[in-house]
Amino acid sequence: MAASFDPGTLGHPAARRTPKGPVGAVTRGTTNTNRLRRMDRWIVHTLGPRLRAATQPPVAVDLGYGAAPWTAVELSRRLRAVRPDLRTVGIEIEPSRVTAALPYAEPPALTFRRGGFEVPLDGGSAQLIRAANVLRQYDEEAVTAVWERLCGRLTPDGLLIEGTCDEIGRRHVWVALGPEGPRTVTFAARLAGLEQPSDLAERLPKALIHHNVPGRPVHAFLTDFDRAWAAAAPYGAFGARQRWVATCTALAERWPLVDARGRWRQGEVTLPWSALRP
C-alpha cells in the first residue's frame, strides 16, 4: 500500500518534541477493567501469527493507558498467551499515573514508564502500539502527524491500533496502521442491546468522526449498515449474532469487507481504510 501520510501536518505542535518532556497532552485517564477486550481479541487474531514467528521477544506498547494500569495488565496477559516471552510497556505522560502503576509491573513481561508520542523504549521498535481513547481529545489536524510519528516506532511488520470505545467496552471503532500508513477500519460491538449499527458512530476515531455527514464515505457506509440491519430483522429470532452475520453478508455485496463470517460472529466487521478515507 502506498504511504497515506500528509507531510504537511508534521509541523503541528502535537507532533513536535520539546526539551520540556514527552510529546503530547494529558488525557482524561478514564479506564475500566476489560474495557479493551474486543480490541485485544482482534489484535490477538490479527497479529498472533507474526508474534509467534518473531525471532526476538516482541514488544507491545499500551500508549496512554490512563489513570489505572488495567488495560496494560490485560494486554500483557492476552498477548503472552500467544507469545510467552513478549514484553509489554505501558506508557503514560502523567508522572503520577506511572507511579500508581508500578506496583502492577511484572518485569520484564510488563513495565511502565513516562512518555508520549515519541514512545520511549530501550532500543529497538514495537511490534504493536495500541493507542486507545488517546487522540479523541486532539484536533483532527493533529492526527496524521501523530500517526506518522507512532508508525515510525514500529517494526517492519508491526501494527498501530488507534481508536475509541465507550467506558465499559461495548462499542469500538479503530484504525489499524502499518509503517506505511492506515490499512483498515474495524467496527466492533456487544450485539445484545445494539439498536442499530450507526450507534457506533459516536465512537468513530478522530480521523473519521467529523466526516460522518452526507456525501462522505463513512456516512454512506453507516447508512447502508443500518439498512442492512433493518432488512435482517427476521434473523433476530435466532439471536443478535445471526442478525449481525446476515447484515454483514448483505453489506459485503456493496462494500469491500476484508473479514468473513468467523469475525462477524464476534460482533466485528472490517473494511480497508481506502473505502472510508475522508
Task: Please name the residue ranges forming H helices in the chain.
Answer: 37-53, 70-80, 95-101, 143-151, 206-209, 217-231, 240-251, 261-264, 273-276
Asked if 171 contacts 186 with a C-beta cutoff of 8 angstroms, the reply is no
State percent of the chain over pLDDT 70: 92
Does the pLDDT of residue 240 top 60, yes or no? yes
Edge-first strand order for the sheet with 110-114 is: 110-114, 87-92, 59-63, 126-132, 154-165, 171-178, 181-189, 268-272
Burial of residue 130 (CB within 10 Å: 0-12, 13-18, 19+) is: buried
Indicate whether 1 belongs to any domain: no
pLDDT of residue 31: 83
SS3 103: helix
Does the pLDDT of residue 25 top 90, yes or no? no
Domain count, the chain: 1
All residues at 6 or more sequence positions from 201 whose CB lies less than 8 Å from its CB, including other chains: 209, 212, 222
Indicate whether 130 belongs to any domain: yes
Q: How many other C-beta atoms can be found within 10 angstroms of the C-beta atom of residue 156?
A: 9
State percent of the chain over pLDDT 90: 86
Domain that holds residue 238: 7-276
Q: How far apart are CA 249 and CA 260, in angstroms?
A: 8
Rounded to 5°, angle at Cα 159 from 154 and 162? 110
Asked if 181 contacts 202 with a C-beta cutoff of 8 angstroms, the reply is no
pLDDT tens-digit series, residues 88-136: 999 999 999 999 999 999 999 999 999 999 999 988 899 999 999 999 8
171-178/154-165 β-pairing: antiparallel
pLDDT tens-digit series, residues 43-64: 999 999 999 999 999 999 999 9
Indicate whether 2 belongs to any domain: no
Cell of 94: 502523567
Asked if 129 contacts 139 with a C-beta cutoff of 8 angstroms, the reply is no
Asked if 191 contacts 199 with a C-beta cutoff of 8 angstroms, the reply is no
CATH number at residue 125: 3.40.50.150
- Residue 24: pLDDT band (50, 70, 90) is confident
Indicate whether 242 belongs to any domain: yes
pLDDT tens-digit series, residues 68-95: 999 999 999 999 999 999 999 999 999 9
Indicate whether 101 belongs to any domain: yes
pLDDT of residue 137: 86
pLDDT of residue 28: 75
